[in-house]
Amino acid sequence: MNSTSSNVIPKAGYGVYALTPADTQKGVSLALEAGYRHIDTAQSYHNEKDCGRVIEQSGLLRPDVFVTTKITPRNFATGMMTASVQRSLEDLRLDQIDLVLIHYPYPWDQIPMEVYLTQLAEVHEAGLAKMIGVSNFNIRQIEFAQEFLGDIEIATNQVEIHVFMQNRPIVDYCRSVGIQMTAYCALARGNLFGVPEADLGPHPVLMEIANDHDATIAQVGLAFLYHEGHVALATTTEKDQIKSNYDAINLSLSDADMDRLRGLDMNKRIVETPYFPIFD
């Protein structure tokens, strides 16, 4: 399969984090059927092969499907990255990956950023990736990467963003320098729908806006991110939910809706790992 022709990242992305091979094949197939044209995977998800198989068998033309994968830090050491991306290409059954990201900075800088950014640039220059970007980078790390990579554009920074964690400092910085933000955990891993163990339902603001638009809470959460200008990734393997999530791309929110949703920001980070950087 040949490369896509566009440098635009489709706003609605289907993510395959934590999906088994069987669920990946089911989910990607249903996502493409529903209208998704952006599939987001990673080397560490161990399902690139499953994504590639479904995309190849979908009957869609290569320019119509945008594929993102992420390089695991295990492949950051000198001389390892290019070979790892070539394996990803084989697994994804592609000649070129649309977007290749650094999954997250090497923990505690035990491998200096220069080492893996040099290799990321080589991956791009060799044509293995049409675009490159980063994930889980804070402002200091983005600034360093921009200066180091020079004329090579950072296409996106993929970080946790949802109505309860709007990550404004890094969002505002990236917006100011023209870097697209991609939101993972777009639905706060189910927290938008309430916290059953605490006997808490959805936030009243989310419920009211969803009711006003005859929409679901998930659609409101995703539409909020689209209106903020972000790419948003959602994951489910339920056919009706996949279609409903995809349809959020067409949900129009008012300025008043957006102001109310912005007011839900609690800086509530869902993904807490000791080796991810502290966001600004």
Question: The tokens of 62 are what?
Answer: 């290569």
Q: What are the strands, taking DSSP E only, across 108-192? A: 129-135, 154-160, 180-184
Q: Are strands 97-102 and 66-71 parallel, antiparallel or unpaired?
A: parallel
Longest dimension (CA), the chain: 55
What phi and psi values does residue 181 have, to the nearest 5 degrees?
Answer: -100, 140
Angle between helices 139-149 and 168-176 (to 10 degrees): 20
SS3 93: coil
Can you give 59-70 as a three-state secondary structure string? CCCHHHCEEEEE
- Identity at 110, one-letter amino acid code: Q
Name the nearest CA neighbour of 230 among 102, 38, 48: 38
> Measured in whole angstroms, how far is the alpha carbon of residue 21 from the centre of its chain?
19
What phi and psi values does residue 209 have, to the nearest 5 degrees?
Answer: -70, -40
Cα–Cα distance measured from residue 60 to residue 92, given in angstroms and rounded to the nearest whole number: 15
* Length of the chain (residues): 280
Cα–Cα distance measured from residue 196 to residue 191, given in angstroms and rounded to the nearest whole number: 9
Cα–Cα distance measured from residue 28 to residue 114, given in angstroms and rounded to the nearest whole number: 35
- Annotated catalytic residues are 45
